[in-house]
Every structure is written in C-alpha cells, then in structure tokens.
Structure 1
Amino acid sequence: MSAVAPATGRLSRGLLFAAALCAGTTVANIYLAQPIIGPVAETFGVSAQTAGIVVTTAMLGYAAGLLFVIPLGDSLDRRKVVGVLSVLTAALLVGSSLAPSLPVLAVLGGLAAVTTVVPQVLIPLVVQLADPAQRGTAMSWVQAGLITGIMGARVLSGQLAGLLGWRSVFAVAAALTLVVGLWTVRALPSDGRRDSVDYWSLLRSLPGYLRREPGLRRACLRQAGSFAAFNAVWTTLALVLTAPPHSFTVAEAGLVGLLGLLSAVLAPTAGKLVDRRGPRLVGALGLTVLAFAALVLVLGTTSLTALLIGTAAVPIGLQVGQAANQNAALSVNPDAGGRLNTIFMLSTFLAGAIGSAAGSVAYGAYGWPGVCATALVFLGLGAVGLRRVR
C-alpha cells in the first residue's frame, strides 16, 4: 500500500502537546465507571456486582476497538479518523449520562470504549512524524498523557460523582472529549491522499506481521509480561491496603494509586533513554524495576513503607518498559504503524486481563506474597523477549 504520508521531522511541540492532551482525555473514558459502580448500582436498584457489567463492557469495547478500529489508521486520513472518533465518543457518552437502565448504560459505555481508541491512532502518527533519533522521546510524551488520564480518571470520576452525581461524570467526559478532540484535529496534519485498501485485507495482514517480524514478537512478549505483572499487583493492591494491619478506607486506598503519576513525570526521561541507548536495554531496565518492586512488595503485608515504595515503583517500571517496547514494535515499519500498534496493544491488553485474573486467584489462595510471586513469574516470561534478534 502506498500513501502520501506526512513527512518525517514535522512533529512540532504544539502538535505533540495536543496529541498528549487528547490521549489523556480520551483514554480516561475507559476508566470512568470504575469508581462509580456503587452509585450506579443504587440508581438502578441492583447489586454492585451486577453493576460491574459496565466496567466489563468498557474493557471488552476497548479490546474490540484495538482490533477493529486502529488498523483503519493505515488506510484512511488519520486526521479525519480522530475527528470522527471524537464526535462518536462524545455522543455515546452523552447517551450514557442519560441511560434509563443498566443494560442501556452497559451497551453505550461499551460502544464509547470502542471509539475512544484515539490515543492508539495518534501514537503511530507521532512516531511517523518524529525524527527517527527522537521517536522514543516523542512517544513518551503521549504515553505521559495516557498515564495521567488513566490515573486521574479514577480520582476525578469519584470526586465529580460525589458532588454532582454519577451521570455528570459521563456528561463532563463527553464535553472534554469533543472539545479536546476537535482542537487536536486542527493541530494534526492531513495524511493526504491514501490508496484505498480493503478493510478485511488490513485485518488479514495482522498475523503476517507477527509471523515475519521477530523484533515485533519480542517487543510484544516483553510488554505482555510487564503488563500482566502490573495488573496482578494493581488489581489486588486495594485488598492488601484495606486489610489489617494497614486498614485503609477505600477512599484512602484509591489515593495511594496516585503514586502512579510519578511514572508520567518520568516518561520523557525514559523516552530520551530509548533514543540514546536503544529499546532492548531500556526494556530490560523496565523489567528490572518491576522485579525490584515485586520483591519489595512482598514485605508489604507488614510494612507500609515497603508497600508504598513498591507501589510507586511498579508503574515506573511499566512506563519505562512501554516506552522502549512500543518504540521497538512501531519502528519495524512506521508506514504500517496502525496495524503494528494493534498487534502490540491487543497482546498487551490480553496479557493484562490474564494478569488481573491470576492476581485475584493468587491473592485468594496464597495472599499478598502469592500475588508478588505471580508477578515475578510473568516478568520471567517477559524476559524471554530480551533475546537478540538475529
């Protein structure tokens, strides 16, 4: 496929800021429902467990968006794709704010998650526009926006729901998505005229890239191991925080998660390190930080200091690794960045789901030390991806 694509080296600071802001704003939409399950359950007269279907459909919707929407970025003008997705997401979020029943909310929230994959459309574009020697730095700024959106959404959603009710969460998110999305569209360059490629041909090409590109497979494996370990810990963190001897309230446990914002601050440094030392070495560093965090966290059942240090280190290790691994994956062929990012993110997302489930099972069977041991097993599997590509 040939295309008239934006030239390398045309990534301005203003465009990079717009991409990072848009990434943070839109990725937050996936996590809006997590802190407000209680109020949603009260509104519709169901249990919190039943209301959790809203969170599940959001995760499933995002996975569907990764697979079926992102590849369009290799065929269509990404400027238009971002605009259309922003408008659709805003409309679906407005519908969510007005949902008359739980099933309607679950469906609309899931569909909004399908279309809120804007960050994963922007990242390949940023990689393509950036100078090859600065791709890691450029990508890390967008990832900093992502981390801020993910971590901030949980806190802001809960606070806003407490002040104005849970419906206001979706209404405000709709307004922010529309305004920031359309502003970003104005900042983005057009891809120009691109050759029309059959949509199903784009999807059928995905296995071929994974089969032919060992560098892509190794980057996916490193990130899958890292994200599975992260989710094993992050999913069960509130359980150990709220249990004796720490006995935090749920609100206090949620605030501990804000330590993850440290990784957003360090993201540009990680990106510069990738540009200078290469993704393989930095990927190994990310795995090492995560392993250190898991070992420290083992002491967290009795030591709050160890628990907080480990909690701060886990997202830092994940961010350092992702800066390296996503750079390695997309550098295989920047012109096919949409499809490469689909493979990378989908494998990461699926590994995260496995990690969450494994962490919950390990906590139930062996407690917090079992969770930490599970995380180390996942990191060992990810380390297999450090083998050199011949």
Structure 2
Amino acid sequence: MNPSSAATAPLPKATAAPQLDNALVWLMALTCGLVVANIYYNQPLLAAIGRTFHVPDSQASLVATATQVGYTLCMLLVVPLGDMLERKRLMLVMLLGAAACLGGAALAPTFAVLAGASVLIGVCSAVPQLLLPMAAHLAPDADRGRIVGRIMSGLLVGILLSRTASGYVGAHYGWRTVFGGAAGLMVLLIGLLAWRLPTDRPHFTGTYASLMRSLLTLVREQPALRRSALVGGGVFAAFSVFWTALVFYLESPVYGYGSDVAGFFGLVGAFGALAAPWAGKTADAKGPRFAITVGLLLALSAYLVLGLGGGHLAGLVVGILLLDVGVQSAHISNQTLIFSLVPEARSRLNTVYMTGYFTGGSLGSIAGGLAWTHFGWAGVCLVGGAFVGLALALHRYYGR
C-alpha cells in the first residue's frame, strides 16, 4: 500500500449533504467568532488579574499562555475526532464544557484556579476547527470557497474584537464579568446550534489509535506541511509576543492607559481581517509561497516600526496594522498551501498545522511576558522580530 494512502482510511459512500442557507452560514461565522474569542478575552485583562491576585506581570501573563496550551492540546488530541465522531454532538459537548469553565474562571478564588480553568477554556474552545471542515463538507462545490471564507472572516473578527469587548467590560465592570458574560454566550450558542446545526456523519472508519497514527504519517510524508506548521508557529509567536505585552506597555508611564483603551486597539487590528481576501487572491495568482513571504516581510517591518516609533500613538497604530495584516496574510496563505496537499485528509492536515501554530502562540505569550518584565518595550520588539525572522528563514530554506 502506498504510505500516503495509509494516512487516511477509506471513506464510506457519501450521503446527500444538507444544504447550507445564508442564515446557517452566518450562524457558523458567529459561532466561530464568539468561541475563539474565549482564548483572547484575557489579554487586555492581565494587568487587572495580576492586581487581584497580587502576582507580577510575568506571572499574570501565564493566564494567556495556559489558554493557548489548552487550545493546542485540543487541536492535537480532540479535533481529529471530527473525522471519526458525529461533529454536531462533539461540538455541543465542548460548548457545554466551555460554559462551565468560563463560569469557573469568573468565580476563581485563587490565581492557580484561574490558570487551571484557563487551560480547560482553551481545550473546550477549539469548536471552530471542527466547524470549518463541517462547513466545507456541507457546502456545494461551486460555493465552498465563498462559504468557508465568510466563516473564516467571523473567526478573524472574533479574535481581534474580543480584546476590545473584554478591555471595555473589564475596565468598567471588572474582569470577572467578562468571563461570566462569555459563559452566558456559550449557553446561548448551545441552544442555537442544537436547533439549527445539521448532523454530519463521520468519514474515518478506523480506530482512534489509527487516526492518531495517520497524523504522524502526514507529518513524515509531507515536508510542506512540516514547513507550514513551523512557519505558522513562528509568526503566531510574534503575534502573541505583541498582544501579551501591549496591555502592560499601555498601562506604563509611557501612555498611562487602562484596559479599555488596550482593548480598543483590537479595533485597529481588526483591519487585519481585510487581508484574508487579498491573501487568497495573491496565493491564487502567484502561489501561496509568494503570499507567505509578503506576509512575513510585513510582520517584520511591523516590529521595526514598533521598535522605533512605538512610543508615539501613530507609530503604535501603524505597527499594529502592519503586524495584523502580515500575520493574517501568512496564516491564510499557509492554510491554502496545506489544504492542497492531501484533499481527503484536510481535517488532519489542519490539526497538524494548527497544533504548530498554537504551540508557537503559547511560546510567544511566555516570551512576551518575560521580555517585558526584564527588558521592557525594546526587548518585546526584539523578541517578536526574532520570531518573525526565524519564520522567514524556515519558510525560505526548510525542506527545499
């Protein structure tokens, strides 16, 4: 048997897929945005959390790291089950867990309890990584790209605007209110998805052990997948370095802003979502590797601007725009590349890529907190720029 075929079990004969109407597509986009936001609500709140539990900034930043670690573990160990178990039921169980863990975070009596709840919030918030393959399966061939693109836009906007919402609510009503409100939103989504989401029969017919072994087969046989996972991890590490340290920088004497203003910088970053269509067109016209190179160069220039001009509001805004556009462009183009490798294994290809992506994000959160604590804003920019430089070197030279 060809080793490539061992990465995927034979698919059963497909049954007629339910049609996706506009209302369901928008519900999927809304779900992706609200659920992925659970991972990022904590970033503008880190300074306030540190004050509540009397811990230093570097320790408070571990809340962001814990959430991303949990998300990464879920990507690796749970999301592949979307090829094996009925996705709707799996997503509803995960949303119920997310609601419970967010409620636990809102009531956390100690920092250790909050950190533990944050890991579980990450574990239960990988629903979009199940919903996107489901949408791709249910969509008609002629509309698949448009539908998946619309849902991905919801995901990107959720990532960026979550900081705005949590920063404002945290400043005016306390950080615990943010987690409590997020728990309520998850309960609302459970009701909506139980009512509107169709069932989606699994494709993989093997065991969980064979499913997990197929991930290793894909990693071994696809050098482009390995490269994309490493590059994605590097660029998302650079992204996390910045957003983890930003709230501390804005609350420092350089600016003297609160978490509400820190959160509103997410509105600036939301323009990065506009890069998704451009990145897709560039990848189609000149190939995804070219589009990834452009995205990485934009991210590298962002850290140059932030290092030289981050002490001025205009420089900070320009740097955020360049960073978010660059990171989103590289991310979308990386996904375009990996989804072309083994079409029948897209869910598992995405698992490998996103595991690398969020592993980098977790490392970036740790590095951002440490860089700020020991070296200030200059250290943050040097570390973030180093991650982008590493990603660019891997993209250009790894696996060639």
Q: Is TM-score (shorter-chain normalized) higher than 0.5?
A: yes
- In the TM superposition, residue 260 of structure 1 has moved relative to its aligned partner by 0.7
- Is 1:225 aligned to residue 234 of structure 2? yes
- In the TM superposition, residue 40 of structure 1 has moved relative to its aligned partner by 5.3
Distance across 2 between alignment mates of 1:88 and 1:96: 12
- Give the counterpart letter for 2:395 in structure 1: G
The answer to whether the 8 A contact 2:62-2:365 is kept is: no
Partner of 2:279: 270
Describe the superposition over 1:150-185 as per-residue Cα deviations: whole angstroms up to 9, x where unpaired. 222233224334555444333321221132244245
Distance across 1 between alignment mates of 2:54 and 2:377: 31
Distance across 2 between alignment mates of 1:42 and 1:247: 19
Distance across 2 between alignment mates of 1:99 and 1:179: 22
Distance across 2 between alignment mates of 1:224 and 1:299: 25
Distance across 1 between alignment mates of 2:84 and 2:110: 38
Q: TM-score, normalised by structure 1?
A: 0.83
Partner of 2:337: 328
Within the candidate set 354, 362, 369, 1:353 is matched to: 362
The answer to whether the 8 A contact 1:21-1:180 is kept is: no
Within the candidate set 156, 160, 163, 1:147 is matched to: 156
Within the candidate set 257, 282, 295, 2:291 is matched to: 282
Partner of 1:126: 135
The 3-state SS of whatever aligns with 1:205 is: helix
- Is 1:215 aligned to residue 224 of structure 2? yes
Within the candidate set 257, 265, 279, 1:249 is matched to: 257
- 1:237–1:320 distance in 2 versus 1, CA, 3 Å: same
The answer to whether the 8 A contact 1:228-1:355 is kept is: yes
Within the candidate set 172, 180, 183, 1:174 is matched to: 183
Structure 2: gaps spanning 5 or more residues? 1-8
- In the TM superposition, residue 241 of structure 1 has moved relative to its aligned partner by 4.3
Structure 1: gaps spanning 5 or more residues? none
Q: TM-score, normalised by structure 2?
A: 0.82
What percent of counterpart residues are identical? 37
Within the candidate set 47, 72, 89, 1:80 is matched to: 89
The answer to whether the 8 A contact 1:283-1:321 is kept is: yes
Distance across 2 between alignment mates of 1:30 and 1:337: 24
- 1:242–1:96 distance in 2 versus 1, CA, 3 Å: closer
- Is 1:112 aligned to residue 121 of structure 2? yes
- 1:53–1:249 distance in 2 versus 1, CA, 3 Å: same
The answer to whether the 8 A contact 2:69-2:362 is kept is: no
Within the candidate set 18, 29, 32, 1:23 is matched to: 32
- In the TM superposition, residue 349 of structure 1 has moved relative to its aligned partner by 1.3
- 1:149–1:271 distance in 2 versus 1, CA, 3 Å: same
User: 1:38-117 counterparts in 2 under 5 A?
Assistant: 46-47=54-55, 54-99=63-108, 102-117=111-126
Distance across 1 between alignment mates of 2:135 and 2:398: 26
User: 1:309-388 counterparts in 2 under 5 A?
Assistant: 309-360=318-369, 368-383=377-392, 384-386=394-396
- Give the counterpart letter for 1:203 in structure 2: M
CA RMSD between the two structures: 3.4
Distance across 2 between alignment mates of 1:240 and 1:162: 16
Instruction: Provide the aligned length of Structure 1 versus Structure 2.
Output: 388
Distance across 2 between alignment mates of 1:130 and 1:386: 35
Describe the superposition over 1:94-133 as per-residue Cα deviations: whole angstroms up to 9, x where unpaired. 3444455554444344323211110111222334445678
- 1:8–1:291 distance in 2 versus 1, CA, 3 Å: farther
Which range moved further: 93-102 or 60-69?
Answer: 93-102
- 1:334–1:15 distance in 2 versus 1, CA, 3 Å: farther
- In the TM superposition, residue 26 of structure 1 has moved relative to its aligned partner by 0.7
Describe the superposition over 1:72-95 as per-residue Cα deviations: whole angstroms up to 9, x where unpaired. 111112222222222222233334
- 1:277–1:201 distance in 2 versus 1, CA, 3 Å: same
- In the TM superposition, residue 389 of structure 1 has moved relative to its aligned partner by 8.1
Distance across 1 between alignment mates of 2:27 and 2:241: 32
Describe the superposition over 1:321-378 as per-residue Cα deviations: whole angstroms up to 9, x where unpaired. 1111122223323432332222111111122233344445555666545544444433
- 1:125–1:6 distance in 2 versus 1, CA, 3 Å: farther
Distance across 2 between alignment mates of 1:151 and 1:346: 20
Describe the superposition over 1:201-252 as per-residue Cα deviations: whole angstroms up to 9, x where unpaired. 22232222111012212322332232122223333334554556x4242333
- 1:30–1:380 distance in 2 versus 1, CA, 3 Å: closer
- 1:189–1:338 distance in 2 versus 1, CA, 3 Å: same
